[in-house]
Structure 1
Amino acid sequence: MERVSGLLSWTLSRVLWLSGFSERGAARQPRIMEEKALEIYDLIRTIRDPEKPNTLEELEVVTESCVEVQEINEEDYLVIIKFTPTVPHCSLATLIVLCKSSKISKAIFFSFQLEIYISEGTHSTEEDINKQINDKERVAAAMENPNLREIVEQCVLEPD
């Protein structure tokens, strides 16, 4: 009887841990989100600025702390990226977003929704641009433009 009770207790604790209801499962979840955020950051940090030879990381357009991953459900995640343009009137902010979207969608193998925003107070028209860059139809239409697609592909190549 004692052996059955011990086995039942172990099984219950394992089920709780796997479902995320125990402390170990709860502690594990933030680590998984941090790992996914770092995976995204590692992808976008090497994107080149469309006007400069530097990467977005070198220009501090993106940092590790600008990427957040939230679990929507067991299989889907929300990826939120906030970036800081190099100047408050940056005319290429939308192009930078296209570069990020393109690189992430080609390299990430977990199911996700992507939201990208300009960091608050860092661009003169951030509200308008934030609406535009998260409009899936506009992004898809922009990527159909061969000239724009070529620029994006050049920006997402790994730096030499």
Structure 2
Amino acid sequence: MTLGLINANPIVHAKKERVARCEDSHCCDAVDPLDIYDFVRDIRDPEHPYSLEQLSVLSEESISVDDKLGRILRITFTPTIQHCSMATVIGLCLRVKLQECFPPHYKVSSTDLLQILVSQFAVNKQLNDKERIAAALENPNLRQLVDECLYSNEL
């Protein structure tokens, strides 16, 4: 579902090779940024058939985990253009994916947007409000867009 291209010609980067990890998912107690990156790197951009990794919206360095403070996951992403109207949808996709992949005792901290100083506060407020997220996901069109971004590569 493409709503009209805001950035018709994004710069597309090659996908990085996945790092081999231990096969026993219970061998490590702590979650590290690479674990999180592996879960979210293939989320498709809402406007393009490319992943967030390919568009450099997301990188390994933009993810941090703080196990000492209640297992807070923080993801900072950079939209492809400064005033991206899809920034909230990207943040919503990241939150939904992380909620699906990690236990409830992990808290997803605000998804900060780089280079968007004016709208950063408003977007983060929306993404950190559980009621707003639940209401957004009740909208069938928005839910379909999120699902397409999250699961289009799994088909």
TM-score (norm 1): 0.71
Contact 1:89–1:123 under 8 Å retained in 2 = no
Residue-by-residue CA offset, 1:107-145 (whole Å, 9 max, x unaligned): 224620102323342454222212222112111110111
Please tell me the residue identity of whatever aligns with 2:54: E
Matched, 1:112 2:115: no
Residue-by-residue CA offset, 1:38-69 (whole Å, 9 max, x unaligned): 11111111000000010000000000011111
Please tell me the residue identity of whatever aligns with 2:139: N
**Which segments of 5 or more consecutive residues in structure 2 lack a partner in the other structure?**
1-27
How far 1:72 sits from its partner (Å)? 4.0
Provide the secondary structure at the position in 2 that maps to 1:141: helix
Please tell me the residue identity of whatever aligns with 1:39: D
Residue-by-residue CA offset, 1:66-119 (whole Å, 9 max, x unaligned): 11110146xx41101110011111001111111111111112246201023233
Please give the alpha-carbon distance, in whole angstroms, between the structure 1 residues aligned to 2:81 and 2:137: 24
Partner of 2:127: 133
Please tell me the residue identity of whatever aligns with 1:94: T
Please tell me the residue identity of whatever aligns with 1:85: P
Partner of 1:52: 48
Higher strand share: 1
Equivalences for 1:60-79 in 2 at 5 Å? 60-72=56-68, 76-79=70-73
Matched, 1:41 2:37: yes
**Which segments of 5 or more consecutive residues in structure 1 lack a partner in the other structure?**
1-30
How far 1:158 sits from its partner (Å)? 5.3
Q: CA RMSD in A?
A: 2.1
Higher relative contact order (CA 8 A, sep 6+): 2
Q: Against the structure 1 CA distance between its residues 140 and 40, is the aligned structure 2 distance closer, same or farther, given a 3 Å change threshold?
A: same
Runs of 4+ aligned structure 1 residues displaced above 3 Å come to: none
Please give the alpha-carbon distance, in whole angstroms, between the structure 2 residues aligned to 1:32 and 1:49: 31
Report how many residues are paired. Answer: 127
Provide the secondary structure at the position in 2 that maps to 1:157: helix
Higher helix share: 1
Q: Percent identity?
A: 39
Of the three residues 88, 104, 110, the one matched with 1:94 is 88
Partner of 2:75: 81
Look at both structures and tell me which one has the larger radius of gyration over its CA atoms.
Answer: 1
